[in-house]
Structure 1
């Protein structure tokens, strides 16, 4: 059951991050899930120690962990935009 929640919440986080970064028209549902999950991993490595919380990848579905996962997904899209377009946007 956690795996299904992980995919659904990762997809929502990836979709919200793509709306913030204005890349939603270029991404499909599968890419939103991938961005959400990999962004949560990135947020877990870089941001979770700063906030003192886990991420959705660590089966922590609190508001703080969702926020850290969301910030990680935005950071991932910033990095992708930097390499694809030469600017963060």
Structure 2
């Protein structure tokens, strides 16, 4: 995947995850992108260990994996802050 694909997928996944977790008001564009990219790495790692495919490009499966990883990341960060 190219850098532009990572940025678009990361931005979308981070934004969707922040909407799910209710943190969208506190997160800006760069935080959404960073959360989505790290979420894609986490989600891809988990998916590959569960027998699924890792994040492969800009498609619905990759978006779902990246969003799931981003939701997990936000949840862990919220738990650490409390």
Q: TM-score range by the shorter chain?
A: 0.7 to 0.9
**Secondary structure, counterpart of 1:24 in structure 2:** coil
The 8 Å contact of residues 39 and 75 in structure 1, kept in 2 or not, is answered as yes
Change over 3 Å in CA distance of 1:23–1:17 after alignment to 2: same
5+ residue gaps in structure 1? Answer: none
Q: How does 1:8-87 map to 2 (within 5 A)?
A: 8-50=8-50, 52-55=52-55, 59-84=56-81, 86=82
The 8 Å contact of residues 54 and 60 in structure 1, kept in 2 or not, is answered as no
Change over 3 Å in CA distance of 1:26–1:32 after alignment to 2: same
The 8 Å contact of residues 5 and 57 in structure 2, kept in 1 or not, is answered as no
RMSD across aligned positions (CA) = 1.7
User: RCO higher in 1 or 2 (8 Å CA, sep ≥ 6)?
Assistant: 2
Aligned length: 82
TM-score by length of 2: 0.87
1:49 Cα deviation from its structure 2 partner: 3.1
1:51 Cα deviation from its structure 2 partner: 5.3
TM-score by length of 1: 0.81
